[in-house]
Chains A and B, each alone.
Chain A
């Protein structure tokens, strides 16, 4: 597959309370974003351990997005702050696995931010397209 026709697979972990509802709003508002994104609903961004992200990137995905509530809005009080801490570790791990930092992103998307959700998805897919397929993809 040449870089020109490259369609990346992006996994988006969205928290049940904000970001998944944001995705829902983007859908019901008929906002357009690329179909490369596969959304996985999780109860909280704080439950996305580094192994989920690294497994995704080494077993077929080209990019991973972690979406949670804005700081202070977390349904579980501080889950998104945990996610932020973990994101730091994940960025270090990308280095250890020889992956580009552009393949991972942490974003806060609230339930009312449908347009922001669509925009983040468009940006992320564009960003992953520009770095190319994951080196672990066979």
Chain B
């Protein structure tokens, strides 16, 4: 009998759903074993009955629930809680669901400050009241799924990788838990490291990087040592893709590094409770780069992981 799958999207751009479609041919092997019973992005299914006659939110029972996106408002919280009730296993898909994602950068300010900025403080819009009619009220901040309900498996990434979705789903079908190793991206990165920065300024990621195309990866110098801000040391691995190496061998290379870009940190902290902002600042100063040159540190080093209290409004200094 096919496994029933329910999918829901909350505060998200939809990129992770595209990843599911991007699975390609392996999806054909998976599909006979899966039966999608609820998936707003692909199928028409109303929460309150086809004509809105229902009074309670309806999500069909399912064996596996996949939820992407963080939780920003009351409606999303309600949907998530209903998903948890109806699904035996709940998977959080993508960095927004796992850590809050890009929208959670808003957690640096209070809700009132955000409203003031968007509806009244912006020079290009007319000042207006905060809209509230027919809209679910926003929560005080952006939450990751596991701050609201229990989550059984995490598939991070922004967007996440098709291979990981396949791995997680086939694992679940066989009753195997899915977990990424507690190692950093650097552990899976084949570039040459000399443990010391080449010196100079911290560069922007599109600025003249040195790399040896079509040559073994050992001929390319570590991006961070070249002076680019690469979040590899503080980011969990799992994104690495197998590429063809010399003489038919295979090399694993992190996904951004394949495109000669430094890691942006979308797979989140290496283990629960780690703080990439602090660890990264330590790493930068340890290899001899000037930590002062990192612009907008708080946001940049917490880019995908602002939920779970990692980004919050700075404490107000008490009046003395």
A interface residues with partner B (beta carbon < 8 Å):
3, 49-51, 54, 82, 85-86, 88-90, 92-93, 96-98, 100, 132, 135-136
Contact = CB atoms under 8 A, between A and B. Distances in A.
A8 to B, nearest CB: 14
A49 B233 CA distance: 14
B320 A93 contact: no
A89 B291 contact: yes
Contacts of A89: 281-282, 284-285, 291
A85 B286 contact: yes
Contacts of B291: 88-89, 92
A98 B284 CA distance: 21
B248 to A, nearest CB: 42
B195 to A, nearest CB: 13
Nearest to A85: B285
Contact of B285 (A88, A135, A136): A88
A50 B285 CA distance: 10
Given A50-B278, A51-B275, A54-B278, A96 B315 contact: no
Nearest to B287: A85
A133 B275 CA distance: 23
Size class of the contact patch on chain B: 20 to 34
Given A92-B297, A93-B277, A96-B297, A132 B285 contact: no
Nearest to B291: A89
A92 B281 contact: yes
A136 B277 contact: no
Given A93-B281, A135-B318, 16 more contacts: A50-B281, A51-B278, A54-B275, A54-B278, A85-B286, A85-B288, A88-B291, A88-B292, A89-B282, A92-B281, A93-B278, A96-B277, A96-B298, A98-B314, A100-B317, A136-B315
B58 to A, nearest CB: 41
Nearest to B274: A51
Nearest to A84: B285
Given A132-B318, A132-B320, A135-B315, A86 B285 contact: yes
18 contacts: A3-B320, A50-B278, A51-B275, A54-B275, A82-B286, A85-B288, A88-B285, A88-B291, A89-B285, A92-B281, A93-B278, A93-B281, A96-B297, A96-B298, A100-B317, A132-B320, A135-B318, A136-B315
Nearest to A82: B286
Contacts of A50: 278-279, 281-282, 285
Q: Interface of chain B, helix or strand or loop or mixed? A: helix
Nearest to B284: A89
A50 B314 CA distance: 19
Contacts of A54: 275, 278
A51 B284 contact: no
A18 B286 CA distance: 22
A1 to B, nearest CB: 12
Contacts of A132: 318, 320
Contacts of B277: 93, 96
Interface string B279-320: 101101110100110000110000000000000001111101
A100 B320 CA distance: 13
B312 to A, nearest CB: 9
- Nearest 5 A/B pairs, CB to CB: A98-B314, A135-B315, A89-B285, A89-B291, A89-B281
Given A93-B277, A96-B277, A86 B318 contact: no
Contact of B279 (A51, A88, A98): A51
Of A50, A85, A88, A132, the most chain B CB neighbours within 10 A belong to A50
A51 B285 CA distance: 13
